[in-house]
A and B are shown apart, each in its own frame.
Chain A
Amino acid sequence: MVNITADSTLPGGLGTFGYDDEGVKAKRVYLIKDGLFVGYQSSRETALLIGLPESSAGMRADSPQKLPLIRMVNINLEPGDWKRDELIAETKKGILMSTNKSWSIDDKRLNFQFGTEIAWEIVNGEIKGLIKNPTYTGITPEFWGSLDGVSKDDWRLWGTPNCGKGQPGQVMYTGHGCSTARFQNVRVGVTKEATAANGVQ
């Protein structure tokens, strides 16, 4: 069910361009297809080193003075075959979260934690009360392995204007296309533990 692409051809994307900074024409490549890891983002040099036929067109520099780096273009979770309302209607006990406001992941990109602006409780397929300061956390392959539904009707190409990478640092525009998706058995609510003990808050 997990299909993730690196696609620098999408109209209007923050990670969209004609050619990357090695002169490779923008393209769409699969990183994960039908749940299987199938490819890396690459440069002309690293594509050769890892046995890919050609670069994924992932090299970008944030100014002419900087060396291009392999970095995110538009990295997308491809649409699934659910309707957003069906995902909610078929959820017995869950949380619907919206809009990340806090993010953190370890150097191996395994242990992640996000906080979102807002969330709602879902009980027996219906949206109930508001949940403040929601968070979710997990281990990357376990989390993506638990995906069991992706919406097809609210896919949108989002993005961020300030993805940081490299030393000396470079800041770049990146796109993230996605729609509502459902994951099972996700750990939520770690901030409660941060404030509950010792009666401080």
Chain B
Amino acid sequence: MVYNKELLFEKAAIALREADKLGASQAEVLVSLSEGALTRLANSIIDQNVAERHAQFSIVVYDGKKKGSTSVEVFDKASLQEAVATAVKIAKISPENKDFKSIPGPQPLKPIPFKELVFKKTKDATPEERAEKAMLAIESAHAIDKRIKAVAGAISHGFSERVIVNSLGVEAYAAGTYSNINITVLADDGTEETAGWSADNNRDFSKLHVQTVAEKAARKAADGFGMKNIEPGDYEVILEPAAVAGFMFFMSYFGFSALMYQDYISFIRDKIGEKLFSEKFTMWDDAYDPRIPYRTFFDDEGQPKTQLELVQKGVVKNLAYDTLTAIKDGVTTTGHNARFRGRSLPIASHILVEEGTVSLEEMISETKNGILVTHFHYQNAVNPTKGIFTGLTRDGTWLVKNGEIQFPLRTLRYTDSALRFLRSIDLLGKYSELNDSQFKVPAMKLPSFRITGSQKE
């Protein structure tokens, strides 16, 4: 394996020297090299192969409390210097951020061994290997049921290296591979079209559960015929892990980010230490946990990740901090800074929810009048201050009555407050062998979940 650690540090050093020369009071640089490839399936054939390589450079400079930043995809010295000069110019004309005191200084990191983060089989994977997996997925899905009409989705993998350095001495380097398969299977019996979905993630491309994913998605599609609609209202709900993970992202982003808390957006504002959720609900963030598919050991400020208790037996415990929000609250960063959708903010993004022991079948048998959900589509916060989210069921939803699955359901919309529907949890499942999200969460059975829309067609 060839790594580019020295090259990346060298590019970062050019930028820091230039920022100093141009009078920046502080500077922070992120330099990365990445490559990724993706094979797309549609109508049970491969219809697209793409590959990308990136050399990305971004700098944040400070002029006192004024901040400027630029991001470019060039690596030559003159272009890097120009990017720094532009950032300095932007800083000079930007408003002051009164909350800003300083970028972070260096802290000891606890590196995860490279052999656990970088897999040669992933880095060296070829289009032919992706095609083999695609064929396996297509054949496995079609073998499940004659009504399977089309297999769609994507198989992807990649490798990246990055350094984060700053003018106070932070120097962090990491490398890692990723791979993903996500499959949507369509089935058609001549009168109705149904869909099923499943996915897996792994740093090791050779360990993706291709057949399991394809068969699971195909079974869901095959079991989806005879769809009906139900009236909106209050139902018990069984959420498979992918559906739970969808919620947990929004819980983390809108609830437990110190920035959201400080901006009075969070639904746990002034409620730390209170018991807001079921005693069965324990959630924490741990970027070092081997059960998380994409582990890491520093955040986007080069600060060490910490294990962070978020909810312990229903009691709200902590917020995720980065340097800016931590200084404002007089605490230490928890190592959760992320550059996300154009912002820099703390997010707990390696979430685990404590598992139980109950199987999906047992959950179904314990349900009187409820719905079984594969996963959600297009979730969003409706009112984050009250923890109200919305979203739609997709790729396999069923009505469960008196312990038995009755019939599949057309698309349902939920609109409900996490402060309400997580106040009581009936049952928790075991972790799945599939990493169908980037979190590790179990299936859940909740006694009350609010459906606010139901499609008739």
Contact = CB atoms under 8 A, between A and B. Distances in A.
Partners in one complex: yes
Contacts of A167: 38, 40, 154
A89 B419 CA distance: 40
A89 to B, nearest CB: 31
B380 A168 contact: no
Interface residues of A, number: 30
Q: How large is the interface on B (under 10, 10 to 19, 20 to 34, 35 or more residues)?
A: 35 or more
A104 B420 contact: no
A113 B453 contact: yes
B383 interface: yes
Interface string B370-408: 000000011111110010101110100000000000000
A91 interface: no
A200 B38 CA distance: 46
B382 A195 contact: no
A102 interface: yes
A108 B457 CA distance: 11
B36 A168 contact: yes
Contact of A195 (B50, B388, B391): B388
A201 interface: yes
A16 to B, nearest CB: 22
B234 interface: yes
B411 interface: yes
B286 interface: no
A137 B452 contact: yes
Could you tell me the dominant secondary structure of chain B's interface residues? strand
A201 B419 contact: yes
B52 interface: yes
Given A168-B52, A200-B419, A200-B420, A106 B411 contact: yes
A25 B377 CA distance: 35
B419 A193 contact: no
Nearest to A103: B380
B115 interface: no
Contacts of A133: 382-383
A160 B160 CA distance: 30
A168 B50 contact: yes
Contacts of B392: 104-107, 111
Contacts of B388: 191, 194-195
B415 interface: yes
Contacts of A185: none
B349 interface: no
Contacts of B48: 67
A113 B423 contact: no
Interface string B433-452: 00000000000000010101
Contact of A104 (B38, B40, B156, B378): B378
B341 interface: yes
Given A110-B455, A191-B388, A197-B234, A115 B383 contact: yes
A167 B154 CA distance: 8
A99 interface: no
Listed residue (B341, B342, B452, B455) with the most chain A CB atoms within 10 angstroms of its CB: B452
Given A113-B452, A137-B415, A139-B455, 20 more contacts: A67-B50, A102-B390, A104-B378, A104-B379, A106-B411, A106-B455, A115-B383, A133-B382, A135-B382, A137-B453, A162-B342, A167-B154, A168-B52, A194-B382, A194-B417, A195-B386, A195-B388, A195-B417, A195-B419, A201-B419
The 6 closest A-B pairs by CB, nearest first: A106-B392, A190-B452, A190-B415, A104-B378, A104-B380, A194-B416
26 contacts: A102-B390, A103-B380, A104-B391, A105-B392, A106-B377, A106-B411, A107-B392, A110-B411, A110-B455, A111-B411, A113-B415, A137-B415, A162-B341, A168-B50, A190-B390, A191-B382, A194-B417, A194-B450, A195-B388, A195-B417, A195-B419, A195-B420, A198-B448, A200-B419, A201-B386, A201-B420
